[in-house]
Amino acid sequence: MTDHFAFRLLATDGRARRGEITMPRGTIRTPAFMPVGTGGTVKAMYLDQVRELGADIILGNVYHLMLRPGAERVARLGGLHEFARWPHPILTDSGGFQVMSLAGLRKLDETGVVFKSHIDGSEHSLTPERSIEIQGLLDSDIQMQLDECIRLPAERAEIERAMEMSLRWAERCKVAFGDQPGKAMFGIVQGGDVVDLRLRSAEALAALDLKGYAIGGLAVGEPQAVMLSILHETLPAMPEAKPRYLMGVGTPDDIVESVRRGIDMFDCVMPTRAGRHGLAFTRRGKVNLKNARHAEDPRPLDETSSCPAARDYSRAYLHHLVRSDEQLGAMLLTWNNLAYYQSLMADLRDAIERGAFESRAGAIKDEWARGDIPAR
């Protein structure tokens, strides 16, 4: 086990990268999908299950954890790993995205952001320094800078102002983070859908020599083609020897296309949120279990899957659970969805190692295009 944070590339295929991040709490195989454990839990899952599916790292959320149960309380209880019984790496986001989305409930200036809790209306302050302090109290392994994320579309002047603010906040976060062996702070490239602003952000952050870099402010309302174009232009300006994390993305297709362009890490609530709303991800695309066509179908979601939720339960039973709003329905579909996402990542890693990324990506997309098995 290493005492340091390190990233190395094991193989490349075009721009697609196969690598690994090593740190004291474990190794992260990349490309990696990080299940979102917003409040210290991946919704509808035991964390032992999450690990068994192949997750090397999960994500925690500063905004939610600082409000409830509170970062100081988590620290007194041994940190987030001990609190949640997850001894493996944890990445915490800075809270910026959630706070910025509060809109009318916040006040923003150079110092940071003052906001009101969505829980009880109490007022809180989040500065770059406080965000890093909270992440330290949680004892997370990868900590994100505080940034300002704005929704698209937006005017260039507003995008530029937020990008410049985020750069200044990155410098303050780096100072606050200091030297923490075995841990890492990542900067976040901003700039909306304006390529030259993205490049300015990427180059300025690279000069800070951080241990990793994220791309934020995408998948916030723009078409997929815009997101992919931004990645295509921005990634070459980011340090090749550092991990690259695309925040909040996304669909399986988003992941395949982003890996093709050189992204190493992903997180998204999509597989867990979809599972709680009756939607399953499978090798043949999405399946809506609310649909009446499944009401008397004895077949499983996917008889070839290694996940019991997909392989061992009938569509009729899953349909019944979803339509009856039974908690087990959300549990089984979340299990299926996270299993599919982790299987997809393993598939992509293997394809890159074999130099077969393009052919495998094409085969995956062809299978999605076939659609679900015909109704009976």
Instruction: For residue range 152-163, list pLDDT tens digits in order.
Output: 889 999 999 999
pLDDT at residue 105 in the model: 66
Q: Look at phi and psi of residue 221 and say left if phi exceeds 0, alpha if psi is from -120 to 50, else beta.
A: left
Give the mean model confidence (pLDDT) for residues 135-151: 96
Q: What is the DSSP string of 263-298?
A: --EEE-SHHHHHHTTTEEEETTEEEETTSGGGTT--
Per-residue pLDDT, averaged over 200-221, amounts to 96
Q: Is 60 exceeded by the pLDDT of residue 359?
A: yes
If one looks up domain 6-267 in CATH, what number appears? 3.20.20.105
Residue positions annotated with a catalytic role = 93, 267
pLDDT tens digits, one per residue of 71-109 = 999 999 999 999 999 999 999 999 888 877 776 668 899
Give the pLDDT confidence score for residue 220 in this predicted structure: 84
Q: Give the pLDDT score at 96.
A: 81
Annotated binding site for substrate: 93-97, 147, 190, 217
pLDDT at residue number 15: 99
pLDDT (mean) for 30-59 = 97
Q: What is the pLDDT of residue 22?
A: 98
Start-to-end CA span in the chain (Å): 52
Q: What percent of the chain has pLDDT over 70?
A: 99
Asked whether the predicted pLDDT for residue 1 surpasses 60, the reply is no
Cβ contact 158:184 at 8 Å: no
Per-residue pLDDT at 286? 98
| pLDDT score for 82 | 98
Among residues 255, 248, 271, 249, which one has the least CA distance to residue 94? 248
Burial of 119 (0-12, 13-18, 19+ CB in 10 A): exposed
Cβ 278 vs Cβ 290: under 8 Å: yes
Count H helices, E strands: the chain?
A: 15, 16
pLDDT of residue 101: 77
- Whether pLDDT at 4 is above 70: yes
**Domain boundaries defined on the chain:** 6-267, 275-370
Round to whole Å and give the CA distance between 33 and 339. 11
Q: Are 270 and 277 in contact (CB under 8 A)?
A: no
pTM exceeding 0.95: yes
Contacts of 112 (CB under 8 A, 6+ apart): 125, 126, 127, 128, 130, 146, 169
Q: Which CA distances in Å does 137 have to 46, 62, 71?
A: 23, 10, 6
